[in-house]
Chain A
């Protein structure tokens, strides 16, 4: 059982007051806070071991290279990847999905082929496919969600036929909090010969992942949502598929040999890492992975689940409030979106902020899902290892203020 108080002191920023109140930071789904261990690991590189990687024969460069490749090994172990070479460092989830969409989609999709995704996706798992569809003539199709906010598996069966060449699905919704049955969907994808990517932007920071068991072929996620810095993300892929995939960017670091009229690529993963990589950020992500591994991802998942359960109970006390997501914690992460008719989400967020409570308001980069829910915006509270029931109490208290201010009492 996690004791958030034990971790809070590792996060310097959480000691801040906001508008005269202790901070209740409930927006980790957008980006998490950073422990001193991560900040220090990055500072240590800048202060002591900084030089460009993969280039110099001198000590500093060797140290930086070793730390960078060490971070890759840490991430590989964290995911239980077959080899560190299966871990491609990218800028973030968005860049990882785009690498897959361009690198795999452009060469492998023909008119009439299908890319299957879902209506609950983040824009970063929809818009790249719009672009690729325009280039290739492929079509998009979408898994629906049921009235109780789950992926509609019954209807899903019909979506899988031999036209489906790519399946790209979120492992955890950043609005509804649901975690779809990835294994089941990966099995359906395999049956029709489709290649599958999981958008792990929310899933990887909040639950144990074993890529060899998951069943999918690619996994994308961001460092900044899992205690790591901005500017670093990961595309994991099965080695044989990474070897077949085209690089999206060309430049230094990613080549074997360059002639005037053509060039050959370096082996994976360097083939996908053109230019000087964000290696200090990768090292920061390595420190974040150490921090998370020490606690245990199963512990974090359970902690998020207990907080979600508490939040669902407490929010039920707020008259008029409707939860946009399942009312239980089965296959659900620590994200709770809600709507209070009569108070717009932005007004709620402003009022909460005055009480030190940081939440997200808006469409959460999921406009198709919002349209499906029939809402223009929701308020979203999301939890991580440093949150406690106190944060949720502060949220519920401030919602009471909002209701009074708007004359709903």
Chain B
């Protein structure tokens, strides 16, 4: 069953089984909760932002392998990054997850130094449209946390 293996790549299952950055931060200055009311996936993102850089991130919650692995990978991807770079990453990720993203040649997971790293393994989700919002959830929650931070 080729496409199932495309969806459930080993790296995704690995992040699902041993999620990184899964902790409540002792010190944080931004955060948001996200959920998919239809399927019940829940994600909480906490951030410590110092001098325009995400110096620490905690991603907690529960849900399917795709939402939880996506959150785990997102934490790795944005930690120690400047906020404008995080914005670019978010756009890139969302682009990859959208149908048009399929044409982006920069997103070949086999290519060395792939821009999104482990995250590119999530490309297989695109073939399962109902699951795209699972992969997006941590990222929309991160965007919301940053929005609150910037407006507050």
Give the distance in Å from the alpha carbon of A406 to the alpha carbon of B63 in the complex: 15
B13 CB-CB contact with A under 8 Å: yes
Query: Does the CB pair B39–A377 fall under 8 Å?
Result: yes
Give the distance in Å from the alpha carbon of A375 to the alpha carbon of B5 in the complex: 27
* Chain B interface size, under 10 / 10 to 19 / 20 to 34 / 35 or more: 20 to 34
Query: Smallest CB-CB separation from A362: which chain B residue?
Result: B39
Query: Smallest CB-CB separation from B131: which chain A residue?
Result: A350
CB distance from A395 to the nearest CB of B (A): 16
Query: Does the CB pair A346–B4 fall under 8 Å?
Result: no
Query: Does the CB pair B38–A362 fall under 8 Å?
Result: yes
Contacts of B134 in A (CB 8 A): 346
Give the distance in Å from the alpha carbon of A343 to the alpha carbon of B39 in the complex: 14
Query: Does the CB pair B8–A344 fall under 8 Å?
Result: no
Number of A-B pairs, beta carbon distance below 8 Å: 50
Query: Does the CB pair A401–B64 fall under 8 Å?
Result: no
CB distance from A126 to the nearest CB of B (A): 15
**Quick one: given A361-B39, A406-B13, are A347 and B4 in contact (CB under 8 Å)?**
no
CB distance from A382 to the nearest CB of B (A): 18
**Quick one: given A350-B128, A405-B8, are A344 and B64 in contact (CB under 8 Å)?**
yes
B42 CB-CB contact with A under 8 Å: yes
Give the distance in Å from the alpha carbon of A401 to the alpha carbon of B62 in the complex: 23
A363 CB-CB contact with B under 8 Å: yes
A147 CB-CB contact with B under 8 Å: no
Contacts of B42 in A (CB 8 A): 376
CB distance from A376 to the nearest CB of B (A): 5
| CB within 8 Å of A: which B1-55 residues | 1, 3-5, 7-8, 13, 17, 38-42
Give the distance in Å from the alpha carbon of A355 to the alpha carbon of B66 in the complex: 19
Give the distance in Å from the alpha carbon of A405 to the alpha carbon of B8 in the complex: 8
Query: Does the CB pair B63–A401 fall under 8 Å?
Result: no
**Quick one: given A354-B3, A401-B1, A405-B4, are A347 and B64 in contact (CB under 8 Å)?**
yes
Contact pick for B40, options A363, A405, A407, CB 8 Å: A363
A323 CB-CB contact with B under 8 Å: no
Contacts of A361 in B (CB 8 A): 39
Contacts of A343 in B (CB 8 A): 65
CB distance from B148 to the nearest CB of A (A): 25
Contact pick for A350, options B7, B13, B62, CB 8 Å: B7
CB distance from A27 to the nearest CB of B (A): 14
Query: Does the CB pair A347–B1 fall under 8 Å?
Result: no
Query: Does the CB pair A354–B4 fall under 8 Å?
Result: yes
| CB within 8 Å of A: which B117-152 residues | 128, 130-131, 134
Query: Does the CB pair B1–A346 fall under 8 Å?
Result: no
**Quick one: given A354-B3, A405-B4, A405-B8, are A347 and B65 in contact (CB under 8 Å)?**
yes
CB distance from A367 to the nearest CB of B (A): 8
Contacts of A405 in B (CB 8 A): 4-5, 8, 13
Query: Does the CB pair A344–B63 fall under 8 Å?
Result: yes
Query: Smallest CB-CB separation from A363: which chain B residue?
Result: B40
| CB within 8 Å of B: which A388-409 residues | 401, 405-407
A41 CB-CB contact with B under 8 Å: no
Query: Smallest CB-CB separation from B3: which chain A residue?
Result: A354
Query: Does the CB pair B131–A376 fall under 8 Å?
Result: no
**Quick one: given A362-B39, A376-B42, A377-B40, are A346 and B8 in contact (CB under 8 Å)?**
no
A351 CB-CB contact with B under 8 Å: yes
CB distance from B129 to the nearest CB of A (A): 11
Give the distance in Å from the alpha carbon of A350 to the alpha carbon of B7 in the complex: 10
Give the distance in Å from the alpha carbon of A351 to the alpha carbon of B65 in the complex: 12
**Quick one: given A377-B40, A405-B8, are A346 and B131 in contact (CB under 8 Å)?**
yes
Query: Does the CB pair A376–B1 fall under 8 Å?
Result: no
Query: Does the CB pair B1–A354 fall under 8 Å?
Result: yes
Query: Smallest CB-CB separation from A405: which chain B residue?
Result: B8
Give the distance in Å from the alpha carbon of A104 to the alpha carbon of B5 in the complex: 54
Give the distance in Å from the alpha carbon of A355 to the alpha carbon of B1 in the complex: 9
Give the distance in Å from the alpha carbon of A370 to the alpha carbon of B131 in the complex: 21
Query: Does the CB pair B7–A376 fall under 8 Å?
Result: no
Contacts of B131 in A (CB 8 A): 346, 350
CB distance from A396 to the nearest CB of B (A): 17
| CB within 8 Å of B: which A326-371 residues | 343-347, 350-351, 354-355, 361-363, 370
Contact pick for A351, options B4, B38, B41, CB 8 Å: B4
9 A-B interface contacts by CB (under 8 A): A346-B39, A351-B4, A354-B1, A355-B1, A362-B39, A362-B40, A376-B40, A377-B40, A405-B4
- Mark B residues whose CB is within 8 Å of A: 1, 3-5, 7-8, 13, 17, 38-42, 62-66, 128, 130-131, 134
Q: Other CB < 8 Å A-B pairs besides A343-B65, A350-B130, A362-B38, 10 of them?
A: A345-B64, A346-B63, A346-B131, A347-B8, A350-B128, A354-B4, A370-B40, A376-B41, A376-B62, A405-B4
